[in-house]
Amino acid sequence: MSGVVQIMRDAGYTSEQYWVRSDGVKMFGDYVMVAADQNVHPLGSVYETSLGMGIVCDTGDFIYDDPYQTDIAVAW
């Protein structure tokens, strides 16, 4: 996860802290960390997820099957 956090820092998101919520959801500041196709949801995009407002921090391999799918980062 440190690599993903560094990507966000390099993109200018320097004040947000990485932490894990009590339910295991990985957070970046006040936002749920999400992987998404960055052609659909660019890095740093904020949108509603089923677990709260999310911020796109990464891309997952799942985008090759469904570019509209997103993946919430969890520690389970």
Chain segment 15-26, per-residue pLDDT in tens: 899 999 999 999
pLDDT digits over 26-51, tens only? 999 999 999 999 999 999 999 999 99
| Residue 54: closest CA among 36, 24, 33 | 33
Q: What is the pTM (predicted TM-score) of this model?
A: 0.90
Measure CA of the first residue to CA of the last residue in the chain; give whole Å: 14
Q: What's the token pair of residue 65? A: 């099957």
Confidence label for 61 from pLDDT (cuts 50, 70 and 90): confident
Measured CA distances, 52 to 10, 11, 30, 34, 39 (Å): 24, 22, 9, 11, 22
* Backbone φ and ψ of 40, nearest 5°: -95, -50
* Averaged pLDDT of the chain: 93
Query: How confident is the model at residue 1, as a pLDDT?
Result: 85
